[in-house]
């Protein structure tokens, strides 16, 4: 009997051993590879090629002006284009800050402000309250810290509350809460491929368009920017803006009055009352003026960027609204 029991134990042990051999070892789960972060584009990576669509009054890369030389600042422009590409390397929800003529309500006072040379309230960085948007720190939505310019591009981070949205600014670093009525969402499929660079120092303008991996130069022209002459004439502000609207005729007032002084043709507005437009036509004249010898010389406009009228029309037709970035540099 004992021998039978031992034989049974041996048979069971052999069977279990074979069963264990037959069962495959549990498969090991391979670690999930993390997606590599997008490659950062540098200025050295930017490729620029001249393929003009508008070829009148075209300037060279450098050209004489009086007893000096003026240039297109391609090194600075490449840095801006690299920044443009990097900010679009991942999908974002874009929006524009808007408060033209305080249409969305006068911005509240910021914590620290002063009166500028135009006798208007401005923050400590010189951005005026008039036509601007209040920026609040996320931990304090009672008193704004600074102003954001009309026409500035922002990235929506979250739809935070019924009254505020959280954004990241693109013209300077920071995350802010902004009252919802100052923020205009733009289509989430937009890719910014059209860029205009206005140079206040050299008084010129270049238009560029991205095609595949190359930025094509579409025009290189003289321009006239805004003159700092309080209380009526104001310089064109530095920064990054979006073309918001267009007017075939932008009517303007005689300084210090409510009387119409004439119109500027083919006007594309990018910030506050700042337009890219053609040669102004003063009352009582009605016909267009193509060119002025003052173009490309010294600032003399009212915040706007004055161009040859045919070039202003080119910009008007070529640059899509809410899809074109305007950089103003020094």
* d(C-alpha 175, C-alpha 151), whole Å: 17
**pLDDT number for residue 15:** 43
* Cβ atoms of 95 and 156 closer than 8 Å: yes
d(CA 243, CA 172): 19
pLDDT mean values, one per 10 residues, the chain (330 residues): 40 42 48 66 97 98 97 98 94 96 98 95 97 95 96 88 89 93 90 97 98 97 97 96 98 93 98 98 97 97 97 98 97
State residue 181 phi and psi, 5-degree precision: -75, -5
Measured at the alpha carbon of residue 196, what is the angle toward residues 194 and 131, in degrees to the nearest 5?
Answer: 105
The class that CATH gives domain 94-185 is mainly beta
The string of DSSP codes covering 34-100 is: PPPPPPPP-GGG-EEEE--S--SSPPPSEEEETTEEEE--HHHHHHHHHHHHHHTSS--EEEEE--G
Ordered by start, the domain boundaries in the chain are: 49-69+192-329, 94-185
Tokens at 319, concatenated: 């640059």
Domains 49-69+192-329 and 94-185 share a fold: no
**Residues 6 or more apart from 316 whose CB is under 8 A from it?**
246, 248, 266, 267, 268
In this prediction, residue 161 carries a pLDDT of 66
Residue 305: CB atoms within 10 Å: 26
> Which pLDDT value is given to residue 3?
43
Residue 5 to residue 298: CA distance in whole angstroms: 112
Superfamily of domain 49-69+192-329: L,D-transpeptidase catalytic domain-like (2.40.440.10)
DSSP, residue by residue, 216-235 = EEEEEEE-B-B--BTTTB-P
């Amino acid at each position: 009997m004992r021998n039978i029991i031992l034989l049974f134990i041996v048979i069971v042990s052999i069977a279990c051993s074979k069963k264990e051999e037959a069962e495959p070892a549990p498969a090991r789960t391979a670690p999930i590879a993390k997606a590599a972060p997008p490659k950062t584009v540098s200025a050295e990576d930017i490729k620029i090629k001249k393929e003009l669509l508008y070829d009148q009054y075209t300037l060279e890369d450098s050209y004489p002006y009086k007893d000096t030389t003026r240039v297109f600042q391609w090194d600075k422009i490449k840095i801006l284009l690299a920044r443009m590409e990097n900010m679009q390397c991942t999908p974002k929800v874009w929006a524009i800050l808007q408060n033209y003529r305080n249409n969305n309500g006068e911005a509240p006072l910021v914590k620290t402000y002063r009166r500028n040379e135009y006798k208007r309230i401005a923050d400590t960085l010189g951005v005026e309250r008039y036509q601007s948007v209040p920026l609040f720190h996320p931990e304090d939505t009672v008193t704004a810290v600074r102003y954001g310019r009309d026409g500035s591009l922002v990235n929506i981070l979250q739809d935070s509350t019924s009254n505020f949205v959280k954004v990241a600014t693109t013209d300077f670093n920071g995350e802010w809460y902004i009252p919802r009525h100052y923020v205009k969402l733009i289509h989430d499929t937009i890719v910014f491929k059209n860029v205009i660079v206005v140079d206040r120092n050299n008084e010129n303008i270049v238009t560029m368009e991205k095609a595949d991996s190359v930025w094509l130069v579409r025009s290189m022209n003289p321009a006239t920017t805004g003159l700092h002459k309080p209380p009526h004439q104001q310089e064109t502000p530095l920064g990054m803006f979006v073309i918001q609207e267009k007017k075939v005729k932008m009517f303007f007032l005689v300084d210090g009055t409510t009387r119409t002084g004439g119109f500027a043709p083919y006007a594309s507005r990018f910030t506050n009352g700042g337009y890219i437009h053609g040669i102004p036509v003063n009352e009582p004249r009605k016909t267009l003026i193509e060119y002025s010898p003052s173009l490309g010389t010294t600032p003399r406009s009212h915040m706007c960027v004055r161009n040859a009228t045919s070039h202003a029309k080119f910009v008007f037709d070529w640059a899509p609204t809410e899809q074109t970035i305007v950089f103003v540099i020094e």
